[in-house]
Chain A
Amino acid sequence: MRKHKVLYLLMLPGILYYVIFKYVPMYGIIIAFQNFSIGRGITGSKFVGFKHFVDFFYNTPDAWKLIRNTILLNVYDLLFRFPVPILLALLFHEIRNRAFKGFVQSVSYMPHFLSTVVIAGIMVTFLSQQTGIINHMLGWFGIEPILFLGLPEWFRTIYVGSEIWQTAGWGTILYLAAIAGVDPTLYEAAKIDGANRFQQMRHVTLVGMYPVMIVLFVLTLGHFMETGFQKIILLYNPMTYETADVLNTFVYRRGILSADFSFATAVGLFQAAIGFLLVVTANRIVRKYSESSLW
């Protein structure tokens, strides 16, 4: 028994971390139902029920815009970014020269190591209307300079594009690991059955990646409501709020910048609840139809 005591003691700092920085904030969600003031604290503040939620849905003109932007940005992300590492892994796998393969892979991982601030900085400088290289290049074809970061219709493209650039290569790692685990006799069998390279790619390699695809898909859905808002904070501005402002950035402005704690917590709770429901539902569906799932 004394042996156990040491083990529990070892875990203590970690458990305290979870309690203080994860579970106390969950308890703090109560303030979404209060008119919280720092002076009175959670125990002293007055309960107002669902007032802040009603305020958000009925009295915030931007509410639907925020929900729409959050969903659209994530749908585009899923639609355009999710398949890229899969395709890339298929193509990497088909490179025959080992050295060249290693080189291409290494280079493709690199953007993953740049910070969000640096990526946003690159986007801002490259897309600048007067001085950016992109507009200079467009000028060669006689296209007038475009104020990319000031036009709402460009925001989603810029955001998803930079995400693809940053994550495509790194995302192939797990798929390549899955491909490496494919039984080589399956390729032999496919060849004997007369499958050409594309048929092997389609029916052996791709099928070998399914389990990883499913797990990553559920994970992506798990973060569905919160994707990349740190980058959005760096890239958006009032001119592009129309398409760029999402629930998280709104929570940041109302909560941190305007100290409107209860209201911002209510909006954040709404978002977290949807995210939670999505991942639980997705996992349930996936578990029903396939063997791999998150839990």
Chain B
Amino acid sequence: MKIKSSLGSKVFDVLNTVFMLLLVVIMVYPLVYVFSASISDNAMVVSGQVVLWPKSINLEAYNRLVVNPDIWISYWNTIRYTVVQTFFSLLVTGCMAYPLAKSWLPGRKWILLMAAFTLLFSGGMIPTFLVVQHLGLLNSIWAIVLPSLVSTWYLFIMRTFFAALPAELEDAATIDGCGSLQVFLRIVLPLSVPVLVSIGLFTAVNQWNSFFDALIYLNDRSLYPLQIVIRNIIISSSNVQGEGNTSYIETLKYAMIMIATVPILCVYPFVQKYFVQGAMIGGIKG
């Protein structure tokens, strides 16, 4: 049987391998090009001579970016927003998910339903904006951190995780005289490191990459996160190209993409595993 099926099977294997190599090229090429363009001479990029490898290496774009205070301020803002949101998000979500995992807790079902309903229906962009405005959060870090603090998906993932922990451990601790809070802090949380890491990473990457909240809630330049600054340089400058010295403007855009992407690409190989695990815990019956 092996020999019989082998011809069609082999042809398929070869085609599949070729297709996979093609896929790798498609996934990687844009970033290679961005990198090459960012360190090439502007004229070479503009005239299309850079196709894969850099030509007449020129670091002018990076020099311009490094001395631009907006970049550093926005980098710092992004770090700030990401750290603060990840911390509070884990804290609030964890504290809410733990009691919800207790099937004997009265009222639990209603709270779960309340949370689940927000997945199906929401007040929308404008009423949410008005709430943020009414609370006086506009132009502050809290406008970025608070409106997206709890994700219902992550809440459900944590709840499922807590519910799966062995109840005997908690019972034993209770008999030894631990209150609920102590059980949560000393027994449950140390056992929950995997889920906390996964969800913390998800939250952090989301916040690192997000721009829309900043676009609608922030007007103050000194509060802009990195993504807004990139947007302004790459996307808006394509309309108002006239300003200043244009001999590096194209390479500057590519350098900007690099600066925004390199941190993610650096941690990516190390955290990919957690992400895949997280996606799977989340995918199996939200």
Contacts and interface: CB of A to CB of B under 8 A. Distances in A.
A256 to B, nearest CB: 5
B5 A113 contact: no
B82 to A, nearest CB: 12
Given A3-B179, A121-B230, A173-B276, A116 B125 contact: no
A60 interface: no
B79 to A, nearest CB: 15
A165 B31 CA distance: 12
Nearest to A171: B279
Contact of B260 (A22, A25, A117): A117
A157 interface: no
Interface of A is mostly: helix
Nearest to B228: A117
How extensive is the interface on chain A, given as a class?
Answer: 35 or more
A18 interface: yes
A10 B129 contact: no
Contact of A272 (B46, B124, B284): B124
Interface string B112-138: 001110111111111111110101000
A276 B211 contact: no
Contact of A21 (B20, B131, B208): B131
Contacts of B33: 126, 133
A6 B181 contact: yes
Interface residues of B, number: 101
B121 A276 contact: yes
Contacts of A17: 92, 146, 149-150
Contact of B235 (A20, A120, A268): A120
Interface string B20-57: 10011011101101100100000001111011000000
Interface string B171-210: 0000000011100100000000000000000000100111
B140 interface: no
A187 interface: no
B125 A117 contact: no
Contacts of A115: 208-211, 227, 260, 264
B180 A3 contact: yes
Contacts of A107: 23-24, 27-28
A7 B24 contact: no
Contacts of A203: none
Contact of A6 (B34, B91, B150, B179): B179
B109 to A, nearest CB: 13
B72 interface: no
Interface in A71-94: 88, 91, 94
Given A15-B96, A121-B235, A196-B8, 9 more contacts: A10-B95, A25-B131, A117-B260, A118-B261, A120-B234, A130-B46, A131-B46, A197-B8, A237-B239
14 contacts: A10-B99, A17-B146, A115-B264, A120-B234, A120-B235, A122-B30, A124-B234, A139-B48, A174-B283, A196-B5, A197-B9, A237-B239, A264-B126, A268-B124
Interface of B: 1, 5, 8-9, 12-13, 16-17, 19-20, 23-24, 26-28, 30-31, 33-34, 37, 45-48, 50-51, 91-93, 95-96, 98-100, 102, 105-106, 111, 114-116, 118-131, 133, 135, 146-147, 149-150, 155, 179-181, 184, 205, 208-212, 215-216, 227-228, 230-231, 234-235, 238-239, 250, 253-254, 256-257, 260-261, 264-265, 268-269, 272, 275-276, 279-280, 283-284, 286
Interface of A: 3-4, 6-8, 10-11, 13-15, 17-18, 20-29, 31, 38, 88, 91, 94-96, 100, 103-104, 106-111, 113-118, 120-122, 124-126, 128, 130-131, 133, 135-137, 139, 165, 169-170, 173-174, 177, 191, 196-198, 212, 222, 230, 233-234, 237, 248, 251-252, 255-256, 261, 264-265, 268-269, 271-272, 275-276, 279-280, 294-295
